[in-house]
Structure 1
Amino acid sequence: MAVVSGTCYGVYTVAAKRFLTASAPALPTTALTLLIAGVALSPLVFMHTENLADSYSLLLIAWTGIAGTTAAYTAFIYGLRRTSAPTAGMLSLAEPLVAAVLGIVVLDEHLSPASPMGLHHAGFRVTVVSKSAGG
Structure 2
Amino acid sequence: MSETRKGGGHLFDLGLEAGLGTPLFTACRIRHESAALADLRRFIHRTLAFWGLDAMGEDTSSVATELAHRLIPEPGFPFGATTGWVSLAVVGGPNATLLCVASGLPGKSPQPPAPSAHSDRILTALTRNWAHAAGATWARLPLR
Q: TM-score range by the shorter chain?
A: 0.3 to 0.5
- The structure with more strand, counted as a fraction of residues: 2
TM-score in terms of structure 1 length: 0.33
Query: Relative contact order (C-alpha < 8 Å, sep 6+): which is higher?
Result: 1
TM-score, normalised via structure 2 length: 0.31
More helix by share: 1
